[in-house]
Structures are given as structure tokens and as C-alpha cells.
Structure 1
Amino acid sequence: MKALVINLKTAPERRKFQLYQLKELGIEFEFSDAETASKAPTLRSEEYWMTGVRPLKDTEKACLISHWNCWNKIVKANEPMLVLEDDAFLSIKTPQLLRAIKNLTGIDILNLETRHRRVLLKKSPEQLSGLYQLLLNRDGAAAYLLWPSGAQKMIEKTNRKAGIADAMLWTSFELHAYQMNPALALQSDKCENYGISNPLETRSSIATDEIHPRDKPSGRSEYFKFRFRRFLEQLHLAQPMVFNYFSSEKKYLEIVKDDFDYLAKYKG
């Protein structure tokens, strides 16, 4: 299975790391150029960017478009692919999983990542050891397997409305979503939580970016539209907890620290 690595041309150090990591793991890959924060807002109309639950930063718009481009590649290739952000670290067990998923059925998306937050899972694994149905996840789009069926659903959803990429993925209950536990991936900013060596400088352009004045609500009517959509989204997120109360559990995902030891060998 091929990996699509989202990488900005202005981040060569991350590109260099992914070259090391994916060759070390023996995973076929190609780079998918990330969209820039300066160009992304112009790729959709101003009206489109105001259809989410809150105004988006330009970096968040760029992130959504970058993932959207990967989804289109998956649909065109008509085969599942591993989508990676360029600061994602993978377990040495990832290649084994990529071979095993050929036998899986009925899946649109499989999350490999943990963000050190609790997620809602079905209590019993399905089809494969460590594979659980994912009912609710709050964030994380650094490492996930996406099937063409899931990619098509995400394209259709994001053509209708805008949103943060990971929120769009994990609030799409029309997706047949699954999670690996122990998790097989994490982003560089979460290494400290698990005592894992971090070979990359940790920084987030999204965290330091601010909402452009053009995207701030222009009046009370627009402000209340965002508030109402946010209220509806919270009701939407409550559904899996209510409907799966007895068959699910909310838990922190495990990480096998030794499976990331090879990262310490990276010299930069």
C-alpha cells in the first residue's frame, strides 16, 4: 500500500525525515504538495469558507485543501492509501498492518494515530487483532488509512461545507471508521506524552496563526449562524455515546514505546 505524505515545499527538514522513516519501514510513498495559507483561501469562494461551525484560519483552510487533494488521488487510484502529515511518526508494526488490511472488508477509514485523548470505541475488536470500531474521536489527521469509498464520501461532504480537516473526518458518522489500539502513529507534538524520542522540531503554524479579519463574522446574524451550527454539531456528537452506551467504552489508546525506538537513530 502506498503512502501519501503531505509536505510543504518550505519544510525540507520534514521531507528529509519522511524519506528516512518510510524507507526504513519499507513503505512505498509519494509526496503530495501541501497547499499554502496564502493560496488556499482563493481556491474556494468566501461564502464557502463561512459554511462551517466557526471561521477558519488560513492555515486551517490550507490543511483541508491538502487533505482534499489526497482524497481525490485515492478516488482516482481506486485503492486504499495511507495519508500522512509530514510530522507523523509510525510504529515499526505499520508495514505488517498494511499487508494485513488487504483482507479487511466494510471499512472506509482506519485511524492509526493517538493524540493522548480518550476516544469512544466498541468494546470488542473486529476482523483483526487490535482493530476496533471507532465511534467518536475529537481530533487527529496525521496518519490514517483511507479507502476510495471513504475518500468519495469526504469529497462530497467537504464540497458542501468547510471545516477543520480532522474534525470533518471524525464527525462524519457516515464513514465506517475504525481505530488501531495500540496506536501505530503519533505526531511530533505528542512524543513527550509517551517518552518517545522526537527527531523533529515541534512547531505548528496553525496554532500560531490567527483568523483573518475578512473571515470574522460581519454581524450578529452571521455570528448566531456559527453558534447555531456549533449547537447542532454538539447534538450530532452525542449520538454515538447515546446509541452505543452499553457496547462501547471511552478510553486512552495504548502505545508500544519500543516500536518507535528506531526514531532515535535519525541524524537529521
Structure 2
Amino acid sequence: MAIAAFGLLQIGAEQFLVHQTLGTLVISMASSADRRALQLFQLQRLGLTFEFVDATTTADVPAPEMAHLQRRWARRLRDTEVACALSHRRAWEIVSRSSDPMLIIEDDAILATDTPAILQAAAALKNVDCVNLETFGAKKTLGRRAPLGVGDYTIARIFRDSAGAAAYLLWPEGARKLLSSFKTMLPLADAAVNLTLDLRKVQVEPACAIQTSILSKTNPISHSIRRSMIARTRPIETRPPFAEWLGYKSRRLQISMILTFQILCGLGRSSRREVKYVDSTEALDVLKGAFPDMIA
């Protein structure tokens, strides 16, 4: 694991003092110099204490283990999906050993200028395991809004989510729940967060984080920055052996039961709505100015 920056940073002859706030874990491949430079600039600008966590690559997983892990979900996973799931689990292990909540982001996450204030307010919440900061452009089943105490931002209980694990504040207890909930399965990170029944999770509205792949629908962004840590890939289109197919079928049944339970829990006290990204271009404009070749 590569620890890049914590507290006092040395870059060339200059030093940058990052405010000692809630810790941030940036999941990033060691070879992704452009994305690391982007996050280094962004997080220093926001005054967030952070460290890079080397993402697991497909080359890090021996072939026999990869073949086994690919079959531990509701369908056969691609090798890049396995690597991404293992990367988030590595971050969860770090959080599980800490005494305070930590922000986990993927290296293509863009954070709004209000993010530090939102994190401080969210960290004071009681009876919460996970706070989702991002929007993925898909509708979510959310409870009633409550003021967060930062501008017009609100929080709402998540009854059912759809996708996205690029930016979330996770408590140590929540990390332990995630690590223990799927001992016989390997779900993708967003699926694990969404399907862990005892994980108490809320959504920030409007979202203060967004992936560049979503942002690029309206803002042209360099290909090297735009692509997620793993490409969103389709399932492998091959017919599995019967025993393998039966395992997938069994897991899909378990997932369906969880999703049905979540829907029932939200009846009469939730609504299905799209979470908007905060209408602020300040952070993006600053990043464009610093990285004109990466962000058009």
C-alpha cells in the first residue's frame, strides 16, 4: 500500500500544509500519475488530509484466486471488477481500524467546494454508518429530507440505491459491517453498501461529489481522467456450467429478497427521486484552470 500524503506535503521546494481534518482515502492505481496529480491538487485546495491507497490491479491477483473470486457474485465478474471490489475492501479494512469516520473516494471523483464543511457536519451525525456524497444520475429511494446545517444541504435515509461508490463517508463500525456481511460473496463496492441491511446510510442532497464519467456528459473531460478506475463493463456473455449457474441464481434470489425488504421498509415514508449535483461550477473551474490539458 502506498501512502502518499498526510499532513505536511513536500513537492519540489514547496511545502503545503493540509488542514488536519477527517482523513480521506483515495483509491488509485499507482501508475495513474495524471489522476493522482488531479486529486493532489483538489484535496490540497479543499484542505483535506488524505492518503493514496494503491488500487488492486488484475496483475496482483493470482489466476486461480481470480477465477474463484469471479464466481462469487450474482454473475461472473470481469477481472477488473474483482480488482475494484478488492480495492474498496482494502479501504474498508483501514477504516475499520480507525477511531473516526473517513472519506473514501475513487480517483475520478470531483468534490464541490462545500465538501469540507459537509464532512464536518456529517461526522457529527449519530446512529449513522455511511454518508453518500455523490450522485450517479440514477434515481434512489430516499426518506424525508432533514437539514444538515450547511447551507441548503439536507440528508435523507437511503432505503434503496442504484449505483455509485466514488465518494462516501464511512464509520469504523460501518466498515466492519461491510467486511463481515459478504463472507461468501464478492459484490462490487456499491452493491455491498446498498445491500448490507444493517448498514445505516444516508444521502447528502444536493450531492457534493460526482464522477467525471457522469460530469463529462455536459463537460468535455480528457479520456485519461474521464474513465473510471475500472470501466463499467457488461457481464461476460458465456454460458456457465450448471453448478456455477445455480450459484449465481441462488445469490440473485438473496439479492431480490433484500431489495424487496428495502422497498417494504420505505413504504409510506420515502420517495423515489434523482439526486442532483450541486449547481456550483467553482471547483470545476479551478480544476480546469490548473489542468487545461485534462479538463477542457
Is the structural similarity TM-score above 0.5? Answer: yes
Matched, 1:202 2:223: no
Q: 1 CA distance for matches of 2:232 and 2:119? A: 32
* Percent identity of equivalent pairs: 30
**2:216 and 2:226 in contact (8 A); partners too:** no
Which of residues 67, 78, 88 in structure 1 aligns to 2:88?
A: 67
Which residue number in structure 2 is paired with residue 185 of structure 1?
A: 209
How far off its partner does 1:103 sit? 2.1
Which of residues 130, 135, 152 in structure 1 aligns to 2:154?
A: 130
Show structure 2 runs of 5+ residues with no match: 1-21
**2:138 and 2:274 in contact (8 A); partners too:** yes
Query: Per the alignment, in what secondary structure is the counterpart of residue 77 of structure 1?
Result: coil
Which residue number in structure 1 is paired with residue 268 of structure 2?
A: 246
Which of residues 231, 253, 258 in structure 1 aligns to 2:280?
A: 258
Q: Which amino acid aligns with 1:134?
A: I
Which residue number in structure 1 is paired with residue 183 of structure 2?
A: 159
Q: Which amino acid aligns with 2:174?
A: G
| 1:156–1:217 CA distance, 2 compared to 1 (3 A) | farther
How far off its partner does 1:141 sit? 0.6
Which residue number in structure 1 is paired with residue 3 of structure 2?
A: none
Which residue number in structure 1 is paired with residue 33 of structure 2?
A: 12
Q: What CA deviation, in whole Å up to 9, does each residue of 1:203-258 have, x standing for no partner?
A: 244335875x9xx6652232132123213312321222223221100001122232
How far off its partner does 1:101 sit? 2.6
How far off its partner does 1:48 sit? 5.0
Which residue number in structure 2 is paired with residue 110 of structure 1?
A: 131
| 1:120–1:43 CA distance, 2 compared to 1 (3 A) | farther
Show structure 1 runs of 5+ residues with no match: none
Q: TM-score, normalised by structure 1?
A: 0.89
Q: 1 CA distance for matches of 2:206 and 2:280? A: 12
Which of residues 46, 60, 63 in structure 2 aligns to 1:25?
A: 46
CA RMSD of aligned residues (A): 2.4
Q: Which has the higher contact order (CA 8 A, sep 6+)?
A: 1
Query: Per the alignment, in what secondary structure is the counterpart of residue 38 of structure 1?
Result: helix
Task: Say which structure is richer in helix.
Answer: 1
After superposition, residues 49-64 of structure 1 pair within 5 angstroms as: 49-64=70-85
Q: 2 CA distance for matches of 1:186 and 1:20? A: 17
Q: Which amino acid aligns with 1:206?
A: A
**1:2 and 1:28 in contact (8 A); partners too:** yes
Paired residues in the alignment total 264
**1:126 and 1:132 in contact (8 A); partners too:** no
Q: Which amino acid aligns with 1:201?
A: I
Q: Which amino acid aligns with 2:36?
A: R
Q: Which amino acid aligns with 2:184?
A: R
Which of residues 219, 233, 237 in structure 1 aligns to 2:241?
A: 219
How far off its partner does 1:106 sit? 0.6
**1:5 and 1:31 in contact (8 A); partners too:** yes
Q: 2 CA distance for matches of 1:257 and 1:264? A: 17
Matched, 1:169 2:193: yes
Query: Per the alignment, in what secondary structure is the counterpart of residue 135 of structure 1?
Result: strand
Q: 1 CA distance for matches of 2:262 and 2:233? A: 33
| 1:192–1:45 CA distance, 2 compared to 1 (3 A) | closer
Matched, 1:236 2:258: yes
How far off its partner does 1:201 sit? 3.3
Q: 2 CA distance for matches of 1:35 and 1:157? A: 21
Q: 2 CA distance for matches of 1:20 and 1:209? A: 33
Q: 2 CA distance for matches of 1:130 and 1:196? A: 26
